[in-house]
Amino acid sequence: MDVTVQIPDDLASRMGSAGDLSRRALEALAAEEYKRSRITKPDLRRLLGFETGDQIDQFLKEHEVFEDYTLEDLEREREGLRRLGL
């Protein structure tokens, strides 16, 4: 699917080149959809053409998208490490 966004020329010229602006718009949409749990990490990989999980993690960090990490998650991990003797 192609999506077209209308931006006044004077604003678009200040915002960047067409290719750069298109990519930034796609990334902003992808980050927002991931935040809202509408797409997954595999979806991000496919949508943005990433090859590794590290690229996805870096993308999320750059867009200030942080996964929820609760005290219960920490305790579960600590218990798992205890069981492993670490």
Q: What is the pLDDT of residues 28-86, one digit of tens each?
A: 999 999 999 999 999 999 999 999 999 999 999 999 998 888 899 899 999 999 999 98
What confidence score (pLDDT) does residue 45 get?
96
32 backbone dihedrals φ, ψ, rounded to 5°: -65, -40
From the list 62, 11, 13, 65, the residue with the least C-alpha distance to 38 is: 65
Q: Say whether pLDDT at 18 is over 80.
A: no
Q: How far apart are CA 79 and CA 81, in angstroms?
A: 5
